[in-house]
């Protein structure tokens, strides 16, 4: 969902047989909630199941390489989904989106739960469990992707937040919906953010893939400049791994909207890790998604938000920033700069091909569209 797509990678996979995970078995995975979706470069779909407290790796046998470079736009996404699933438009809710980098097929986790939405602070996973996986081809053909009789493997995350713990300010919501808030695959590892049952709830789990029984667990602490305090109870909302100054870092965004770097090496060295806050992008907002892409050979990061416009920032600016925010920020903005890009209502993001990023976007007329954002247009 976040890694730039390599044409060479597509060619290689078109010419070779994909290596199989030796731990996979054939059957129907016991997934409770399709909370978060992510692909690796081999076309394996990772599903974060918050309610089940597990990560599933699923081989959908979707490895026909595509070299499509066209945009895709579906102006009535919820209408089409409602017709397919036999429900009304106001019930359709998209929870997450990921693109298979080999086939360019788009996958959506979907539920019939949008009518329950009553607050701008609620996320789809707060309201209902996504239980439907939808596949959309690069040309826009839509079908339901079955998870029955597939090759899969799984690993449980240790000590996820208890299912009975109430959210302290979201009425009726359970913290378990945030047991898994985001996942990323990088260099043979799965990184999983969310909430644990530890005293310091904010957590980051790391597992090698193919899965082993050993899953590394870390609790997290960050300084929130807009709130003026160190925090350990708020989960990462969106993140991605990135090499900064020859060190693997996780670039993580939190509620209200601090940007934090987390040294990946420390995840294996100590149980409790402090992040370095490098920016405050604005309060009264939660990040929805973050995508890394390339344009003209340079890396950029684009972040969608609940209340702010699209935020575009240069990871080199993060690498060049030597400071750290450890005091309350007046005016809510500090640290690494960003470039705002129009994109009101943009929700999910995914790298599509060398020219476009895919986005779901809520229009002023209420319709949800699947739209393509030109990487040339996004150029600062």
The pTM assigned to this predicted structure is 0.93
**The domain containing residue 33 runs over which residues?**
7-378
User: Given the structure tokens 């939660």, which residue do they identify?
Assistant: 286
Share of the chain above pLDDT 90, in %: 84
CA distance to 120, 125, 225, 258, 348, per residue, from 109 (Å): 20, 11, 33, 27, 11
Q: Is 141 buried (19+), middle (13-18) or exposed (0-12) by CB count in 10 A?
A: exposed
Nearest alpha-carbon partner for 279 in 319, 243, 247 = 319
Contact between 223 and 276 (Cβ < 8 Å): no
In a domain, 1, yes or no: no
In a domain, 317, yes or no: yes
CA distance 47 to 353: 22
Task: Give the DSSP per-residue string, 201-268.
Answer: -EEEEEEESS--S--EEEEEEEEETTTTEEESSSPP-EEEEEEETTEEEEEEE-TT-EEEEEEGGGGG
Alpha helices in the chain (DSSP H): 7-15, 77-85, 124-127, 315-320, 375-378
Q: Please tell me what DSSP assigns to residue 176.
A: G
User: Given the structure tokens 């060049």, which residue do they identify?
Assistant: 320
pLDDT of residue 119: 78
In a domain, 263, yes or no: yes
Q: Is the dihedral angle over the CA atoms 124, 125, 131, 133 positive or is it negative?
A: positive
User: Domain with 360 in it: what CATH number?
Assistant: 2.130.10
CA distance 240 to 258: 14
In a domain, 330, yes or no: yes
pLDDT of residue 207: 97
Measured CA angle at 369 (ends 364, 375), to 5 deg:
105
pLDDT of residue 168: 83
As for how many domains the chain has, the answer is 1
CA distance to 22, 138, 149, 283, 339, per residue, from 342 (Å): 45, 25, 43, 18, 10
In a domain, 346, yes or no: yes
Q: Please tell me what DSSP assigns to residue 131.
A: -
CA distance 136 to 357: 15
Local confidence pLDDT in tens for the 380 residues of the chain: 455 555 555 544 444 444 568 889 999 999 999 999 999 999 999 999 999 999 999 999 999 999 999 999 999 999 999 999 999 999 999 999 999 999 999 999 999 988 777 777 888 998 899 999 999 999 999 999 999 999 999 999 999 999 999 888 778 788 999 999 999 999 999 999 999 999 999 999 999 999 988 899 999 999 999 999 999 999 999 999 999 999 999 999 999 999 999 999 999 889 999 999 999 999 999 999 999 999 989 999 999 999 999 999 999 999 999 999 999 998 889 999 999 998 889 999 999 999 999 999 999 999 999 999 999 988 65
In a domain, 2, yes or no: no
In a domain, 321, yes or no: yes
Contact between 107 and 134 (Cβ < 8 Å): yes
In a domain, 130, yes or no: yes
């Amino acid at each position: 969902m976040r890694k730039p797509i390599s044409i060479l990678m597509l060619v290689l996979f078109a010419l070779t047989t994909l290596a199989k995970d030796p731990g996979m078995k054939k059957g129907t995975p016991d997934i409770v909630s399709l909370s978060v979706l992510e692909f690796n470069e081999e076309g394996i779909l990772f599903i974060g199941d918050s309610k089940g407290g597990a990560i599933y790796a699923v081989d959908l046998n979707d490895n026909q390489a595509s070299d499509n470079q066209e945009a895709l736009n579906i102006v009535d996404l919820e209408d089409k989904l409602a017709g397919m699933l036999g429900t009304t438009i106001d019930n359709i809710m998209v929870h997450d989106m990921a693109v298979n980098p080999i086939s360019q097929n788009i996958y959506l986790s979907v539920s019939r739960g949008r009518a329950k939405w009553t607050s701008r602070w609620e996320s789809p996973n707060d309201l209902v469990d996504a239980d439907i996986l939808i596949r959309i081809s690069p040309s826009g053909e839509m079908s339901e992707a079955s998870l029955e009789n597939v090759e899969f493997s799984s690993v449980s995350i240790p000590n996820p937040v208890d299912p009975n713990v109430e959210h302290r300010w979201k009425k009726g919501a359970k913290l378990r919906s945030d047991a898994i808030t985001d996942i990323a695959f990088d260099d043979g590892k799965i990184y999983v953010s969310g909430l644990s049952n530890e005293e310091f709830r904010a957590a980051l789990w790391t597992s090698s893939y193919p899965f082993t029984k050993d899953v590394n667990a870390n609790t997290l602490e960050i300084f929130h400049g807009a709130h003026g305090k160190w925090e350990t109870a708020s989960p990462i909302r969106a993140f991605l791994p990135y090499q900064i100054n020859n060190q693997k870092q996780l670039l993580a965004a939190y509620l209200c909207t601090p940007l934090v770097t987390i040294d990946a090496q420390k995840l294996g060295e100590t149980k409790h890790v402090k992040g370095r806050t490098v920016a405050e992008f604005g309060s009264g907002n939660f990040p929805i998604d973050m995508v890394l892409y390339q344009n003209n050979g340079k890396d950029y990061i684009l972040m969608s938000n609940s209340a702010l416009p699209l935020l575009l920032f240069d990871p080199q600016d993060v690498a060049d920033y030597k400071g750290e925010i450890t005091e309350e920020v007046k005016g809510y903005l500090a640290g690494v700069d960003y470039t705002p890009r129009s994109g009101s209502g943009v929700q999910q993001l995914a790298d599509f091909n060398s020219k476009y990023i895919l986005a779901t976007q809520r229009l002023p007329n209420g319709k949800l569209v699947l739209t393509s954002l030109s990487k040339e247009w996004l150029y600062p």
